[in-house]
Amino acid sequence: MQVIILGSGSPLPDPDRAGPSTLVRTPVGDLLFDCGRGVLMRAAAAGSGAGAFRAVFLTHLHSDHITDLNDIVTMRWAMSFQPNPLPLFGPVGTEALMRATEVMLEPDIGYRLAHHDDLQWRPSSTVTEVEQGVVFDEVGVRITVAPTDHSPVRPTLGFRIDAEDQSVVIAGDTVPCQGLEELCAGVDVLVHTVVRRDLIEQIGLPRLSDVIDYHSSVGGAARTAARNGVGTLVLTHLVPAPAPGTEQEWLDQAGAHFDGEVVLATDLLTIDVAR
């Protein structure tokens, strides 16, 4: 397998970091986890795209993780030459999200149907709302989901992808919790959202400080990795985005609790998963 960080950013717009999104390349195709702003631009740079996604998985329905779902729906439909339903997996509420997205896109759908004679079908999807357990099992690729803790955002999910003897966990937004522990046992690569508590407290803005209690700190993610024998910890969804020259501070904070490999995500960072 291969992990490609399409977007390493957060809700805060950043010229160098697209919104949260991770592509996992597997024997059954490209699996997309979350679809923050700019996802299809980064997917194009990685040689993928809306029509190529074998499935899309949502960790939760916070706006920064679903901003460009509408772009995926439109481009998969408009750039396919036959019906190509989008397989979408996510927490309870995903079905309503998809139906609302289609309603929002209705004017555009009408314009394109009226203009393109060879486009004789509407965009479509197969939505599977998931909570826990194995949710995908195809040709040796198995995806397991467990609930995480991003309260008061509920429900939120983490995903584990296993293919042959390789494994990846997409933690999503969460604090350390039992569901994440269950997914992470012995995993090769853990992609974990993190915030810098020390920097946020120095900034002192109440609305920014609010993110501390429902995101893991760098140390918290590192301790989760250490407890579960993780091979490589990837820090992403970085709040605040690292200032140039401060990247080592993030690595040092993680290294104080975890002696495995730690990687600070940047857009299009690519990791080959290997035992």
Catalytic residues: 64
Q: For 246, phi and psi rounded to 5 degrees?
A: -105, 5
Alpha carbon separation from 154 to 45, 117, 149, 211 (Å, rounded): 33, 43, 8, 15
* Measured CA angle at 62 (ends 56, 65), to 5 deg: 40
* 55/126 Cα distance (integer angstroms): 10
* 247/263 Cα distance (integer angstroms): 10
* 163 neighbors 207 (Cβ within 8 angstroms): no
Contacts of 82 (CB under 8 A, 6+ apart): none
Beta bridge partners of 53: 30
Beta bridge partners of 134: 144
- Picking from 13, 6, 69, the residue whose alpha carbon sits closest to that of residue 41 is 6
